[in-house]
A and B are shown apart, each in its own frame.
Chain A
Amino acid sequence: MEKRLLKLSVNGEKYEVYINPKTLLVEVIRDHLGFTGTKRGCETVSCGACTVNIGDMSVKSCSVLAVQVEGLNVTTAEGLEKDGKLSDVQVAFLDQGAYQCGFCTSGMLMSATALLKENEGKTLTEHQIREGIEGNICRCTGYNSIVRAIDAVAQGKYKEA
């Protein structure tokens, strides 16, 4: 088994890493590139703690072979803020206390970000928001504060005046 050169972009930076083809995207992100904000909570693609966005699309990075994201743009929780300014979703999470232990938060933020991007300009029902984070388990909050946070952003409460 020969190692392969993988070129991908993470949080706007281009990276080149040599990997065993069986390496999972989450392993490249955490172990090779050190973006430890992305977590792992299971071995069965169940918990969503490893959620990252490829382009604007959320995926569970424990269920994607890194070699499959050759040349693609990956965003992790570390990539949400721009020049030290938090994204609207991040601020909404703070305002609503939409996290407790914080272990699921990075993945939750990525699902929320993808959901809001996909529905930009559209209204989101509470049910749509709940389905939008269905793939992410949170053991602490009971989700409702997270739903309120996403709803606040969807309602445009964080639009620059």
Chain B
Amino acid sequence: MIHDFNYLKPGSLKEALSMLAEHKDECKVICGGQSLLIVMRQGMVTPEYLLDIKHLEELNYISFDAKDGLKLGATTTHREIEKSDVIAKNYPVLVAMENKLASIQTRNWGTIGGNLAHADPAGDPGPVLIALKGSVKVGSASEERVFPLDEFFVDYFATQKNDDELILEIQVPVPEPKTGTAYQKFNLLDSDMGIVASAVSVTLNNDGTCKDARIVLGNAGPVPIRVKRAEELLVGKKYDEALFAEAGKIASEDCEPVADIHASEAQRRHVAGVYTKRMLKKAWEQAMA
């Protein structure tokens, strides 16, 4: 049963931030609430105040330009991202990822900001946005801060964001030329969270060697995990299935998955490797195309 709370409905972002400054840790922010309401119903989260920012149009936007890249307002829904032509054109992997995120109903009401703030290690956007070198802008009444997303998550359901801060914007740079990015999660039901997931981004030099790569594992530890050892291994190398397998092997070694009823730790490590290998191949081939 959901515990009683005082409902705060700010008229503007400014007001929201000052309310947050006032109530800090007694206050929980709700946007789509697709995850929050579940944990509140379970009595795991019992805030004194609930600050509702779902209706703040100031934070609901998708903008793109060839210089600064993509900017997503925090209250932009998953469905708006999934349906955006400009994103489909410049970041197809984001659309593909969103298309497999939970159900249409959840994507219709749930928001990108809420998803990242919830910081569920099994969340889909985290790994993909990290692979795309995305960052997140948070703000309080007094200041704004920008974190690269791969530094944003600190632990299970925990981020760098302070209690008096809101997620304002997600920023994704324009991918370099000859870049490919791919993401896939391993699950038994299409719409489920990943038992484990792998997001890979590869940028190639003109000679076809790897200029830069990012390998990010989802639900393979407390936070999305970058497999830096494998990333370094790839730089300067050419397209090579054995190389992809080697990177996969490193991924399965360098993750820290936890066993549950859906898969043992060994299975999770194994599949993390397999999917990393596959996504690496897919991303690389995209980059070559």
Contacts and interface: CB of A to CB of B under 8 A. Distances in A.
A68 B55 contact: yes
A64 interface: yes
B23 interface: no
B11 to A, nearest CB: 13
B52 interface: yes
B56 to A, nearest CB: 12
A64 B42 CA distance: 16
B34 A45 contact: yes
Interface stretch (A81-89, A93-101, A127-135, A145-153): A127-135
A22 interface: yes
B37 A67 contact: no
B38 A45 contact: yes
A24 B6 CA distance: 15
A65 B47 CA distance: 15
Nearest to A1: B4
A74 interface: no
Contact of A114 (B30, B34, B52, B104): B104
Interface in A99-149: 111, 114-115, 131-132, 134-136
Contacts, number: 78
B2 A134 contact: no
A159 B37 CA distance: 41
Interface residues of B, number: 29
B108 A59 contact: yes
Contact of A51 (B2, B3, B9, B105): B105
B104 A63 contact: no
B50 A60 contact: no
Contact of A59 (B3, B7, B105, B190): B105
What bracket does the count of chain A residues touching chain B fall in?
20 to 34
Nearest to A43: B41
A58 B2 contact: no
Nearest to B191: A134
A21 interface: yes
Interface string A61-72: 011110110000
Contacts of A65: 30, 33, 37, 52
Contacts of A60: 103, 105-106, 109
29 contacts: A1-B5, A20-B4, A21-B5, A21-B6, A21-B50, A22-B4, A24-B37, A43-B38, A43-B41, A45-B37, A45-B38, A57-B79, A57-B108, A58-B104, A58-B108, A60-B103, A60-B106, A62-B37, A63-B33, A63-B37, A63-B105, A67-B9, A67-B52, A68-B52, A68-B54, A111-B105, A114-B104, A115-B104, A135-B191
